[in-house]
Amino acid sequence: MKVWKHITFEQRKLISSGIVHKYKLKEIAELLSLDPTSISKEVKRNRISKTVGLEKSNCKRIQRWPYVCTGCNKKSHCPFTKYRYDARIAQNKANFNLVNSRRGIDISEEEFIKLDKIIKEGIDNNKSIYQIKIENNESIDKSITTLYRYINNGYLTTKRLDLPYAVKYKKRKHNKKYDYSNNNKIDRTNHTYIDYLAFKHQNPGVYVWQLDFLGKIKSDNNNILSFILPDLQLPILTLIKNPNSSKVVNFFDKLEETLGIEAFKELIPAILTDRDPKFADIDGICFSKITGEERCKLFFCDPYVSSQKPNVENLNKQLRLFFPKNKSIDKYTKQDIKNINITLLNKPLKSLDSFNPKEAFIKVFDEDIFNKLF
């Protein structure tokens, strides 16, 4: 099996020197360990015209090796177009052709206009390129990588700045520590991140949900509780007015009431969250108000290590498409949050092999439980 390699600049300089010193094609090929055909194609492809002749050239020197006028004794009074081979110019042409061959658009104008419209409408509706591709698979025959290349090269109406995560964020300023005055009084014995790792080791394959609040501006009364099952990328969102620990407990009590204690224990065996005091009522979250039995385990991440719960952090990042930072969320109703939740549930994901969270959840559990949740 042949391994094709591009001719290097050093090899081009040797070709140029060989032509000047009137080497035969075979001699240059042996010197560079290249096929003679490769060298002849290189010279013909990258030679440049020196002057414009008045007559069509029938010169054998141009039609066969060395394919240029270098070293010809008649070129001073030759009426034909002159050719020469310059290693540096040949290298620049080769580089340009290499890059250019990889950035063209190999579709018709009609197909391009249709593709441009589909991408623009999808981005305007807060959809990812992956989601747009999956939902329009029959209309878009380009890969995800190609679509991003079209955007990055400026071919489409959609620009790189229109992609929510394509532009790097500025380095964060850590001017304040999210430390709470009453946080140090909370006893989290047997509920730390190390305890969580031990629990996972002792219960391999167990479902662990991740819990967090979306950040809000100080003047807001409302906040959004984000609850996600990472294995299935299933989000549950709820709007809570003036959130506190008792309202968080009430959220889980309602879930138990909706599902029943046994279904709750099967679906939500463990929860991982941060050290926000609103999650501090461990017994209230972990134990059933109806039966008094333990319904789930609760574990807390280490301080300032949000990467220990990456899925809910990513969920909050997605929610920023709907709730931009430094903007109030008080204007949104519970129905608005429910509609956004449904949008996320129906979003096809690469991590789920193009299925959406709703389909994945129903496949693993059943539709009855899904309908109770939503």
Give the model confidence (pLDDT) of 232-242 as tens digits: 999 999 999 99
Q: What is the pLDDT of residues 14-46, one digit of tens each?
A: 999 999 998 999 999 998 889 999 999 999 988
Between 354 and 1, the more confident residue is 354
pLDDT number for residue 90? 87
Mean pLDDT of the region 37-66: 79
Confidence tier at 252 by pLDDT (50, 70, 90): very high
* Residue position matching structure tokens 């679906």: 267
From residue 165, how far is each of 98, 196, 302, 327 by CA, in Å? Answer: 29, 31, 27, 18
pLDDT number for residue 270? 97
Q: Is the pLDDT of residue 4 over 70?
A: no
Mean pLDDT of the region 131-160: 88
pLDDT number for residue 49? 80
Confidence tier at 172 by pLDDT (50, 70, 90): low
Beta strands in 230-296 (DSSP E): 234-241, 270-273
Sequence ranges of the domains in the chain: 9-101, 109-162, 186-373
pLDDT number for residue 1? 42
Confidence tier at 249 by pLDDT (50, 70, 90): very high
Task: Tell me the average pLDDT of the chain.
Answer: 87
Share of the chain above pLDDT 70, in %: 88
Is 0.75 topped by the overall pTM?
no
The class (CATH top level) of 186-373 is alpha beta
Mean pLDDT of the region 346-363: 93
Mean pLDDT of the region 256-278: 94
Mean pLDDT of the region 110-120: 89
From residue 15, how far is each of 7, 25, 40, 344 by CA, in Å? Answer: 10, 9, 10, 60
Q: What is the pLDDT of residues 65-102, one digit of tens each?
A: 988 888 888 767 787 788 889 998 888 887 776 665 55
Beta strands in the chain (DSSP E): 48-51, 82-84, 208-213, 222-229, 234-241, 270-273, 297-300
Between 221 and 183, the more confident residue is 221
User: Please, what is the Cα angle at 202 between 198 and 203, to 5 degrees?
Assistant: 115
Q: Is the pLDDT of residue 163 over 90?
A: no
pLDDT number for residue 182? 58
Mean pLDDT of the region 133-158: 88
Q: How far is CA 315 from the centre of its chain?
A: 14
Q: What is the pLDDT of residues 321-330, one digit of tens each?
A: 999 988 999 9
pLDDT number for residue 232? 95
Confidence tier at 184 by pLDDT (50, 70, 90): low
| Contact between residue 339 and residue 143 where contact means Cβ atoms under 8 Å apart | no
